[in-house]
Amino acid sequence: MLCMGTHRPDAPRPRGDEGWSHRKRTQSVRTVRYDAERRDERMPKHPRTSRSIMPNPIRFILALHNHQPVGNFDDVFQRALDESYCPFLEVFGRFPSLKLSLHVSGSLMEWLETHHPKYIDRLAELVDGRRIEILGGAYYEPILAMVPSRDRVGQIRSYTRWLQNRLGATVRGLWTPERVWEQSFVRDLADAGIEYTVLDDFHFRCAGVEQSQLTGHFLTEDEGRLLSVFPGSERLRYLIPFGDPQQTIDYLAQMADEHPNAVVVFGDDGEKFGVWPETNKHVYGDGWLERFFNALAENQDWINVTTLAEAFDNVPPAGKVYLPDCSYREMTEWALPTKSLVEYERISAEMKDDPRWESLRPRIRGGFWRNFKVKYPEADEMYSRMMAVSRRLQETLEAAVAGDPVDGELVERARAELYRGQCNCAYWHGAFGGIYLPHLRNAVYKHLIAADNLLDRATGKPETWVEAVAEDFNFDAHQEVRLNNDKLIALLSPSRGGQLLELDVRGAEHNLLATLARRPEAYHKKVQAGEHHNGDQVASIHERVVFKQPDLDRRLQYDDHPRKSLVDLFYDNDATLESIAACTAPQRGDFVHGVYEARIRRNPDRIQVQLMRDGHACGVPVRITKGLTLDAGSNTLQAAYLLENLPTDRQLHFAVEMNFSGMPPEAEGRNFHDIEGNLLGQLGTKLDLHEVFGLGLSDEWLGLDVGLKMSRPTNFWTYPVETVSQSEGGFELVHQSVAVLPHWLVEADRDGRWSVTMQLSLDTPHADNHHSHNNAEAVAATL
């Protein structure tokens, strides 16, 4: 073995597919079939192809991309190494005449360097032997459209330096993450020293380039900077490794006949060679990869298996092209709003037998990647937080240039944390988990909070402090208020119901509001139809309906408001825990989405944000005023509520919803407790408490204890918030947050007023121990 770990092609897969085992567009081995080009059987054949004569020469490039996201579980990294990365290199090493272009993301490289440096040593040997060309990229695999220009260039340059130093690689090409493309990238890629990249032929078809023209790389330009772009073959993406190797040979022969000296590129995820469902046995156990490489080697008299660099140096551009904002076909579909995607799929299904569809489909695409931030507001929240850290880093660097005292080493550590927080996988969702995976969202916030902490130290913040800033942090043309001190960061949105959108515990580097609301997805219609297995009749993995837990069709629920905190709710007086948890209890107030007026009251060591709204509840006018107070050096956020204009002849049922994410529901050491410390059950427990003065949530692994103490007797409801989403192993139930609702049957005093004060304490007694662990174990029980 070239690295640690045991690879057994016939070994059973671990139970479940927790984590982002990578990746998209997975095709079941037993279901994807292509009919090879049939030749006249009466003619004599070329000995190694189903052809009458040897085909014309052609260049064939294998460009592979290996990636695991920041925050993924160690066992997922290890499984990918054992089932794909190591065995692939072992087989490839036995064919010295073959070459390939390879990209390994920086997040994966970091894990390999820590756990399996011999694998990287082997890569360096293959680079030195000119067997492998190493493709560069943005260090931690951000979608380039998601990060500012300075971070695009910075990530690319940083990773290029690492690859040069560790592998001795000359980096000239770049793997574009998820092939999400915008023409303005050309300027940044060129400025970062990149000469070429690979996109899909779909990008070119959307620009009006005919398939017959896609026989080499094309030149493109932005503001005078030049870049070459190779089109990757969509047909080969589906054919390799699912079709017989001879089908690829015959396809290349057809291309060579029609376009002598053409350049054909297969560019796709390396995980499809062993990690994707059923591929490990197929690719290695059944010998597919060995046969594939044998077929290429036997036909090298006309197939030149080479690298992008060699083709770039020896083949002139096929022309100039300007490509539209695009990605691979499936990504553009996933980016559509759910209703639009349902309609898109319906029309596609109706048109598939239409004779015009074959020529029409290459010209049809779905949505724009940036709209994932609209489809999933939680993605926009991460993006906005990331942008704030990026801007702060830039301001700190500018201050250092101007002569301000700044610790440069801490700033560079903060830059690395920012870059890690830009890893793309948590910011979108397609055929696999993405934003639905809590551990990926938690990792994004963990690194962004760490960056903020480091910048505080780098700029000499005092030991204790408190501040409030009003600014449009999330780019919605409304001001939010960031209330923070040396212990906590709280982001309030007066325009969105006065809700608490983010609550960061600095010591634990954890955002308790990295939540996700339950919403309809286009694939939920498959879940509603129930579980079925059609075996070989299923056309692809996207049509398989496999439930990882039973009765998922009965677990579909949708929220009518974001899963945040300080959400002000009014219910019927007889509303029950079950109706609240099932989202069937009607809302009787208009405060959830209402606009609150905001004021900031400042003292040297204490700041209060006061929010007020005149609205209606149960048909009567009501005013809510809530004040959030934070002291310097304190880990307690105080929320004081005052309700005015209440009717004096009846009660109103008032609740304040809180959500807490990243605290697993069914795991040892994660429990509810009362204010005396008595355990009340694990965090997935549904509680219906009456007339108590507080409730606590503890997570021993995070080293975090959340306490709610009330100024008056309070009823509490608690329940888990779970989503039904798709993953590579099927449809699954994923725990997203713990909902905690203190609620009261409000009786007004004679002046029509009622009040309550909540103390939200966030203790981190074991935070130092937490920092020495890997984030994976803490959230393993969430899936």
- Which residues contact residue 603 at a Cβ distance below 8 angstroms, ignoring those fewer than 6 apart? none
Neighbours of 8 (CB within 10 A): 12
Instruction: Determine contact, residues 654/714, Cβ cutoff 8 Å.
Output: no
Residues linked to residue 599 through DSSP beta bridges, in sequence order: 610
Give the residue carrying structure tokens 């629920």.
557
- Six token digits for residue 228: 């070459």
Give the residue carrying structure tokens 């459209």.
145
Distance between CA atoms of 674 and 668, rounded to whole angstroms? 17
Distance between CA atoms of 638 and 48, rounded to whole angstroms? 77
How far the first Cα of the chain sits from its last, in Å, is 32
- Which residues contact residue 86 at a Cβ distance below 8 angstroms, ignoring those fewer than 6 apart? 1, 2, 3, 5, 7, 119
Active site residue 269: yes
Distance between CA atoms of 446 and 418, rounded to whole angstroms? 10
Q: Which of 269, 452, 521, 728 is catalytic?
A: 269
Q: Which of 178, 381, 452, 502 is catalytic?
A: 178
Active site residue 178: yes
Where do runs of H (alpha helix) occur along 58-104? 74-80, 86-93
Instruction: Determine contact, residues 712/745, Cβ cutoff 8 Å.
Output: no
Give the residue carrying structure tokens 């077929």.
295
SS3 560: coil
Maximum C-alpha span of the chain: 102
SS3 387: helix
How distant, in Å, are the alpha carbons of 152, 284, 391 from that of 33?
Answer: 39, 19, 49
SS3 763: strand
Distance between CA atoms of 383 and 385, rounded to whole angstroms? 5
* Strand intervals (E) in 176-262: 196-200, 218-222, 225-232
Distance between CA atoms of 531 and 247, rounded to whole angstroms? 34
Q: Show which residues are catalytic.
A: 178, 269
